Each structure stands twice: as C-alpha cells, then as structure tokens.
C-alpha cells in the first residue's frame, strides 16, 4: 500500500474516532481532532508537507503520487 492510501485511511480513522468520541461524550472539544486532521489534509494538498508521510517514508513505505 502506498503512503497516499495509508494517509487517507489513517485520516479517515482519526476523523471517525474524533466524531465518535464527541458523540459518546457530547464534549465539544473532541471536534478539534477531526478539524485538525481536515486542516492538515488541506494544507498538505498545497504544500506537500505531511508529518505522517515523513514518518512513513522513514519506515520504508513506498511513495505514491502525492508525497514522492
């Protein structure tokens, strides 16, 4: 699996986890988690800077189209 697909899967899990935690606790601060992930994905689309992509490269994951 390429870095791009791993990042999309990880982002989806973290977004759903943040929304699930908000649903369970009704604590508004849990919405910071999916907002941060969405903001990071948005800025990565323009800057090609993604901390998770850098970590995955160090672990030897093969690069995809977006983060090579």
Cα 2 to chain centroid, rounded: 14
Q: Are 15 and 34 in contact (CB under 8 A)?
A: yes
Mean pLDDT of 55-62: 94
Domain boundaries, the chain: 3-58
> Which tens digit of pLDDT belongs to each residue from 5-57?
999 999 999 999 999 999 999 999 999 999 999 999 999 999 989 999 999 99
pTM tops 0.95:
no
Distance between alpha carbon 18 and the CA centroid of its chain, in Å? Answer: 12
Which structure tokens are listed for 14?
């973290």
Distance CA 43, CA 38 (A): 9
Q: What is the pLDDT of residue 15?
A: 98
Q: Which H/E stretch holds residue 13?
A: helix 3-25
């Amino acid at each position: 699996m390429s870095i791009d697909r791993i990042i999309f899967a990880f982002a989806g899990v973290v977004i759903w986890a943040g929304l699930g935690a908000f649903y369970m606790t009704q604590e508004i601060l849990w919405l910071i988690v999916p907002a941060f992930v969405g903001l990071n994905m948005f800025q990565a689309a323009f800057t090609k800077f993604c901390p998770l992509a850098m970590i995955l490269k160090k672990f030897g994951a093969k690069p995809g189209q977006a983060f090579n």
